[in-house]
Structure 1
């Protein structure tokens, strides 16, 4: 499938009058076509079923480079799959996109693809740790969003607990960063963790909660009794 074919398929799902509202909501300056998310899901699912992994990585790269809002989301969705073999090229491509993040919707879709690659090979968390030192706010935020699977295990193994504690260490280094999206990401990680590991969440809030923004501290403890 060529990029032109893919863009034509995307544009066939444009809903008239939708683009302006989406651009305003997502604060986009890049081109927004006006395609609803269910249509993107259906289209990328069909591509995943018909393209090889190599073809999907190549198409995802081209879609990303088009710099169209929905094309970048479609690029991420093309690579969002637990069983993706081989996946080294997909992981490398996902990492290459992180410095381009400039809005939450695109960033979160890419991080969902990244989550699958981290769960497939947890040693990749080593690379993610480097993101926490970036001058780019969206890259720092992505380090927490991409590691969200480690908030969700009910019966984590020792290696999972080590990653959980490692990411909590990153979050602790973020609490004095009062950028709204960073505070929100810390709260998101803790809120999800609290459903499965309330003790670690309480310990974090006891140690660092006073340094967090009030809204973030409240959201982080939302599910704690």
Structure 2
């Protein structure tokens, strides 16, 4: 990954969050997220407004600078909100043309080092998912490999990355990723399996019912979530 990040944008993000900080809210936000990294106490609406303003004021010239700036914000973060804005930068609409399979190493780092649901679910659903739909031949084999990875967050990503796919869901891929984890006792994997099946049941209830019926090894949590709307 390149090192030529936009130092002005990074400095503006950190200064902007410091200006908006609410020390009274920060401890509760940290406790709710069970985060070792402290919060500034800046809630999402204010963060969203800040991101929109700063990203408009500091346009990035190319994909290398964009990736490097995301990584600088992420790796150098002292407060969790800095990482939230790094994620926001990966979704900034003017840079949508840079969303290519080559970004997988970036998103893999955010998943593995983020290692908690607030970061991982955003990347899985809103970054990996669209890439999978746009580049299925490239992404599907990687998701199959992730479903068997030692890292539970990569496995969760493989399971939930199709939440927004609806009728375009790759059913074989989903089944493969779930089956690789169906007996794992991890809460986040079991919850992710149930979530993925529950969302799919809104558009393909027959497939979900058949899958649940033919997989008795599903945990009670996964089964309960999967059949919520059936």
TM-score category, normalised to shorter length: 0.7 to 0.9
- Aligned counterpart for 1:76 among listed residues 82, 87, 96: 87
Gap change, CA 1:125 and 1:46, over 3 Å in 2: farther
Question: Partners in 2 of 1:18 and 1:56 — Cα distance?
Answer: 31
Aligned residue for 2:21, secondary structure, equals coil
8 A contact 1:81–1:116 mirrored in 2: no
Instruction: State how 1:3-18 maps to structure 2 within 5 Å.
Output: 3-18=10-25
**Structure 1: unaligned runs, 5 residues or longer:** none
Aligned residue for 1:12, secondary structure, equals helix
- What root-mean-square deviation, in Å, do the aligned CA atoms of Structure 1 and Structure 2 show? 2.1
Instruction: State how 1:134-173 maps to structure 2 within 5 Å.
Output: 134-150=149-165, 152-153=166-167, 156=168, 160=169, 163-173=170-180
Question: How far off is 1:113 after superposition?
Answer: 2.6
**Which residue of 1 is the match for residue 3 of structure 2?**
none
**Which residue of 2 is the match for residue 217 of structure 1?**
223
8 A contact 2:111–2:119 mirrored in 1: no
Question: Partners in 2 of 1:56 and 1:38 — Cα distance?
Answer: 23
Residue deviations 1:94-142 (CA, integer Å, cap 9, x gap): 1232221321112122222332333332332322222112111112111
Question: Partners in 2 of 1:12 and 1:109 — Cα distance?
Answer: 26
Number of corresponding residues: 215
**Structure 2: unaligned runs, 5 residues or longer:** 1-5
Question: How far off is 1:47 after superposition?
Answer: 4.2
Question: Partners in 2 of 1:29 and 1:116 — Cα distance?
Answer: 30
Farther-moved stretch of structure 1 (194-203 vs 49-58)? 49-58
Farther-moved stretch of structure 1 (47-56 vs 198-207)? 47-56
TM-score of the aligned structures, taking structure 2 as reference length = 0.84
Gap change, CA 1:201 and 1:48, over 3 Å in 2: farther
8 A contact 1:80–1:116 mirrored in 2: no
Farther-moved stretch of structure 1 (211-220 vs 50-59)? 50-59
8 A contact 1:141–1:185 mirrored in 2: yes
